[in-house]
Amino acid sequence: MEKHIVAGSLKRNRQLRKILSYCVLTCVGIIMIYPFIWMFFGSFKTNAEIFGSQNLLPNSFSFDAFVKGWNGVGQYNFTDFFKNSIMIVVPVVFFTLVSCSLVAYGFARFRFPMKKLLFGLMISTLMLPDAVIIIPRYLLFNKLGWLNTYKPFIVPAMFACYPFFIFMLVQFLRGIPRELDEAAEIDGCGSFRLFVRILLPLMKPALFSAGLFQFMWTWNDFFNPLIYINSVKKFPLALGLRISLDTSSTVAWDQVMAMSLVSILPVVLLFFFAQKYFVEGIATSGLKG
Amino acid sequence: MVELRESAAEAVSQTPAKKKRSFRKWRGLLYITPWLIGFFVFQFGPLLASFGYSFTNYNMMSAPKFVGLKNYIQLFTADPEFVKSLTATLTYACISVPAKLIFALFVAYILNFKLKGVNFYRTVYYMPSILGGSIAISALWKLLFMKEGIINGLLSAINIGPVDWLGTPGTAMIVICLLQVWQFGSSMVLFLAALKQIPAELYEAAEIDGGSKVKQFFKITLPMITPIVFFNLVMQSINAFQDFTAAFIITNGGPLKSTYLIGMKLYDEGFRNFKMGYACAISWVLFAIILLFTLLVFRSSDAWVYYEDGGDF
């Protein structure tokens, strides 16, 4: 009899905990997502309505802010900014994947002199703050005449300056059995062919994760374009958005929201289609978000 | 006999085999060459250069002039703006990082109950993390917390405010910290992965012993995930110490320089005033703080980080 009561109260307890958990999760979820929803509807409102009313939904859906915002304030519009962002992001992602996977292959599959030391150095650069090297880098790029070009983004990507991704790919490669390599080598397959033909296809999920992260970081990056790019013609989205925040004394917030929404859309879409890779990416290597 | 034959064979084919072996030995180095070059040209070189520049006056017009420790002395004795930025940065890191981690752990802990729809919630919570660093979100945040913004609008419904969020030093700091906490998703995913690894037997044993949930959390859950806590703490702090975008867009360092983070000071000195030597000195103070902090955490980790395998980090 007593046992039944205990079991019953335990069950009720568990039920209660479940309900409570869902309540907390949902509340947190609403707080997380509310700014996005507000941003979405805000971009259909007029500037006056954004400040004047507490309603989430706009009185009427108008695409004015999108049209005006897209055309921008000066000579250049968001078509240019979008193009520029793509011109930075695509090569950066491509070269990051090529260089980092080669380096990861070197670290994961070969023994060579000073490997431990070099690997340690590579890992320690994970914690090297960008702030410390930004000024000499700027001076170097200035000397090379690379300022106001996209080379300061692309060239470091060619030389695998992203220890996060090297580490992530090394971890992944370690999980691929070496027997595959040995079998290929017995068949007379050279190490480079082995890499391209056998390992690279197997590394697809990790490469996809790394590519997604690099895409997202480069797309969102504000600080680097801010210091390296100075002509509006070459502005990526991040800088283009800032113009609309800066130029007029009264900011047209409806346009800012509309263009913000447009600028984050590629990342959001990518995230929804490929969230598995995002989550696995951080779970396996501990990447920052 | 076999040995003899082998050594004979070796003697015959020694030269090509040796060549091949020595090539094999260096092949790995060949693959990591891109990184080696990148490391020396874009990371290690700049690191040394920045240290060197920090002892000079350099405005990019004339050659750098050696001034000894003058930049560092000036930073701490004659530049109240820098001291302010230092306090602001430390405040920012000390509030935002623990708040973010505690919140992330809390949510991960709930997500780890065997509930339906965990994936959905995880996706929703992770969203801010992928966008939070962008200027679009900083702009949104600024708009939300404006005096006439929606936050005050919502608060007025429960008869609070209006609060001048961005115009008061204390609350301005809270606003940019909140943006940081809002991006707890990636820490949460790491915590969740760690929580899933804790063997269920530990909890079952505790249940039999009659340990309460709270006790279980502090005696089992927390100790088991300390390696991830440690990792998150180090990485998030390093990032927090150099944050820039949020403060730059939302508050522009104000009011009264209360959110003037070191990253902004560095930007102003280096890329607005073009005092490169001075900016390098700032970056090295920042680096020293990060190193000191990391060292402290690493040192203390023996006391609080639990490694199941005895721990070779």
**DSSP sequence for A166-204:** HHHHHHHHHTS-THHHHHHHHTT--HHHHIIIIIHHHTH
- Give, as one character, the DSSP assignment of residue A37: H
**Inter-axis angle of helices B276-304 and B45-53, to 10 degrees?**
120
Higher pLDDT, B299 or A149: A149
| C-alpha to C-alpha distance for A230 and B73, rounded to whole angstroms | 33
Determine contact: A227 vs chain B, CB below 8 A: yes
| C-alpha to C-alpha distance for B162 and B149, rounded to whole angstroms | 10
Chain B's closest residue to A263, CA to CA, is B136
In a domain, B310, yes or no: no
Q: What is the pLDDT of residue A283?
A: 59
**DSSP sequence for chain B:** -HHHHHHHHHHHTHHHHHHHHHHHHHHHHHHHHHHHHHIIIIIIHHHHHHHHHTTEE--SSS--EE-TTHHHHHHHHT-HHHHHHHHHHHHHHHHHHHHHHHHHHHHHHHHTSS-TTHHHHHHHHHHHHHHTTSHHHHHHHHHHTSTTSHHHHHHHHTT-----GGGSHHHHHHHHHHHHHHT-HHHHHHHHHHHHTS-HHHHHHHHHHT--HHHHIIIIIHHHTHHHHHHHHHHHHHHHHT--HHIIIIITT-STTTT--HHHHHHIIIIIS--HHHHHHHHHHHHHHHHHHHHHHHHHHHHH---TT----
Least confident residue range of A79-88, A179-188, A227-236, B186-195: A179-188
Q: Nearest 5 degrees, angle CA A255-CA A227-CA A235?
A: 40
In a domain, B1, yes or no: no
Residues 55-94 of A with CB under 8 A from B: none
Which of A18, A216, A271 lies closest to B115 in CB terms?
A18
In a domain, B163, yes or no: yes
In a domain, B103, yes or no: yes
For residues B99 and B52, state if they share a domain: no
Do you find a cis peptide bond into B255, omega within 30 degrees of 0? yes
For residues B166 and B51, state if they share a domain: no
For residues B247 and B202, state if they share a domain: yes
pLDDT band at A154, cuts 50/70/90?
very high
Higher pLDDT, A281 or B186: B186
What domains sit in chain A, N to C, each tagged with a CATH number? 2-65 (no CATH), 78-285 (1.10.3720.10)
Q: Is the pLDDT of residue A10 over 80?
A: no
Q: What is the pLDDT of residue B312?
A: 44
* CB–CB contact B157 A279 (8 Å): no
Do you find a cis peptide bond into A225, omega within 30 degrees of 0? no
Instruction: Count how many domains chain B has.
Output: 2
pLDDT in tens, A172-209: 888 888 888 888 888 888 888 889 988 999 888 889 88
In a domain, B128, yes or no: yes
CA B290 from chain centre, in angstroms, equals 10
Residue A32's CB is within 10 A of a number of other CB atoms, namely 21
| C-alpha to C-alpha distance for B81 and B261, rounded to whole angstroms | 10
Determine contact: A216 vs chain B, CB below 8 A: yes
C-alpha Rg value of chain B to the nearest Å = 27
In a domain, B8, yes or no: no
* CB–CB contact B238 A129 (8 Å): yes
C-alpha Rg value of chain A to the nearest Å = 25
For residues B109 and B49, state if they share a domain: no
For residues B109 and B52, state if they share a domain: no
CB contact at 8 A, B199 and B217: no
For residues B193 and B54, state if they share a domain: no
- Exposure of A203 by Cβ count < 10 A (0-12 exposed, 13-18 middle, 19+ buried)? buried
In a domain, B275, yes or no: yes
Q: Looking at CA atoms only, how far is residue B57 from chain A in angstroms?
A: 13
Contact residues on chain B for A122, CB-CB shorter than 8 A: 35, 39
* CB–CB contact A29 B121 (8 Å): yes
Task: Enumerate residues 6+ apart whose C-beta is below 8 A from B237.
Answer: B93, B97, B290, B293, B294, B297
CB contact at 8 A, B129 and B135: no
Residue B153's CB is within 10 A of a number of other CB atoms, namely 17
* CB–CB contact B32 A139 (8 Å): no
Q: Is the pLDDT of residue A46 over 90?
A: no
Q: What is the pLDDT of residue B10?
A: 46
The one-letter amino acid code at A52 reads G
* CB–CB contact B35 A278 (8 Å): no
Residues 20-59 of A with CB under 8 A from B: 21-22, 24-25, 28-29, 32-33, 35-36, 38-39, 42, 50-51, 54
For residues B111 and B87, state if they share a domain: yes
* CB–CB contact A33 B127 (8 Å): yes
| C-alpha to C-alpha distance for A253 and B226, rounded to whole angstroms | 44
For residues B81 and B109, state if they share a domain: yes
Q: What is the pLDDT of residue B92?
A: 95
Contact residues on chain A for B262, CB-CB shorter than 8 A: 131
Q: Is the pLDDT of residue A8 over 90?
A: no
Structure tokens that stand for B250 in this block: 């939302």
For residues B56 and B19, state if they share a domain: yes
Determine contact: B241 vs chain A, CB below 8 A: yes
Range among A31-35, A78-82, B34-38, B218-222 rated most confident: B34-38
CATH number for the domain that contains residue B229: 1.10.3720.10
Structure tokens that stand for A138 in this block: 């700027």
Structure tokens that stand for A79 in this block: 């078509």
Q: Is the pLDDT of residue A134 over 90?
A: yes
Tens digit of each residue's pLDDT, chain B (313 residues): 444 444 444 444 445 555 566 667 788 889 999 999 999 999 999 999 999 999 999 988 888 999 999 999 999 999 999 999 999 999 999 999 999 999 999 999 998 887 888 888 888 888 888 887 889 999 999 988 988 888 888 888 887 778 888 888 889 999 999 999 999 988 898 898 888 888 888 888 888 888 788 888 888 888 888 888 888 898 899 999 999 999 999 988 878 889 999 999 999 999 999 999 999 999 999 999 999 998 898 888 888 887 765 544 3
Q: What is the pLDDT of residue B4?
A: 43
| C-alpha to C-alpha distance for B212 and B217, rounded to whole angstroms | 9
Asked which of B66, B90, B107 is the last residue of a domain, the reply is B66
| C-alpha to C-alpha distance for B313 and B310, rounded to whole angstroms | 10
* CB–CB contact A35 B141 (8 Å): yes
CB contact at 8 A, A88 and A236: yes
Nearest to B35 by CA among A89, A115, A136: A115
Q: Which domain holds residue B57?
A: 14-66
| C-alpha to C-alpha distance for A59 and A81, rounded to whole angstroms | 31
For residues B149 and B231, state if they share a domain: yes
pTM (two decimals): 0.87
CB contact at 8 A, A198 and A105: no
For residues B154 and B43, state if they share a domain: no
Asked which of B29, B44, B66 is the last residue of a domain, the reply is B66
For residues B141 and B21, state if they share a domain: no
Q: What is the pLDDT of residue A156?
A: 95
Chain A with chain B: Cβ pairs closer than 8 A: 263
Query: Which element (helix H / strand E) includes A283?
Result: helix A275-285
In a domain, B38, yes or no: yes
Complex ipTM value: 0.85
- The share of chain A scoring above pLDDT 70, in percent, equals 91
Asked which of B34, B50, B66 is the last residue of a domain, the reply is B66
Distances (CA, A) of A177 to A172, A199, A202, A205, A269: 11, 10, 11, 16, 34
